[in-house]
Amino acid sequence: MRTCVAIFSLVAASGLVQAQSFNLQADWSDAANPNGPWSFTQNGVPLPHVNAWQQQLGGWSQPQPAWALSQDATNRLPMFMRSNGSETFAHDWAAGNVVVHSTDGFNGQGDGTAVINFTLPFDATFNIHGGVWIGRDIGRSVDWNLVIGGSTVTGGTVSSGDPYSSANPLPFASGFGGAGPLSGVAPAGTVIALTLPTHGGSPAGDFIVIDLTIDLQHTCIPDLNRDGVADQGDVDYLINVIAGGANPTGIDPDFNGDGVADQGDIDGLINAIAGAPCP
């Protein structure tokens, strides 16, 4: 279903310039899930680790670690891995690429959709880069959708025989939503999700290769109570949180980022609401 994303109509004042880049491949961990802002899930639930996916069924000359419910059982899909390069079957990816096998009714019985979640660790301007391609040409298809803050903003399908490959990935910007939704402003805790369901017309799931980078630049969002406007209500909200009151929107009361939550944060918020740069 195509829906419009509405993160915030408020344009945050420019200020903090600290930027961070998060790359799915470079940030990969076989030790932790979630791993920082990343998590590898079925329907949002993080998957356990297996030491050698399809150890008995084959396909690798060396044990291939992965995130999946099992190594060889009929619930082994969905599966997430960073390839160790020891595949013994024809495939279109290199060692170090992040590869997902979507679920299906054969080897994902009762399992959910493959979803990569990235949770914003701070209020930020985000930019999403990269693309996807099918990992084999064996007559199968996998859908992809980008979901930001719970709303699907773009997506598409990669299929056996399409023009996309490791040499020519399908860019996220070529999805049905275009490039626009790949950039925006969102508060800490917003989830950017890449969902990877098996295409409805495909006989089974398949491998899809993911090239995904999310660049974040710190910003401030003066609408601390998240009611759509930046006003006195946000000042009152911050004062209450600093005093030890409830914080239902989960904001960081250290608005000016100096390491303490105090009068300086209230002053910084008042100035930002008045149009000054972020502290």
- Class at the top of the CATH hierarchy for domain 19-218: mainly beta
Angle (nearest 5°) at CA 59 between 54 and 65 = 50
- How far apart (Å, rounded) are the C-alpha atoms in residues 83 and 210? 11
Instruction: Tell me the CA distances in angstroms from 18 to 27, 122, 131, 212, one per residue in order.
Output: 19, 11, 25, 21
- What predicted TM-score, i.e. pTM, was given to this entire model? 0.86
In this predicted structure, what is the pLDDT of residue 3? 35
In this structure, what DSSP letter does residue 69 have? S
DSSP string over 170-236? EEGGGSTT-SGGGEEEE-TT-EEEEEEPBPTT-SS--EEEEEEEEEEEE---S-TT-SSS-SHHHHH
Q: Where in the chain is the domain with CATH 2.60.120?
A: 19-218
- What does the pLDDT read at residue 218? 85
Distance in angstroms (rounded) separating the CA atoms of residues 84 and 25: 12
The pLDDT value given to residue 277: 82
- Element (DSSP H or E) covering residue 139: none
pLDDT averaged over 10-residue windows placed end to end, the chain, 279 residues: 36 50 98 98 97 98 98 97 98 98 93 97 94 97 98 98 98 98 94 97 95 94 93 96 94 88 94 87
Tally the C-alpha atoms within 13 A of residue 198's C-alpha that lie toward its C-beta.
22
Q: Residue 13's pLDDT is what?
A: 36
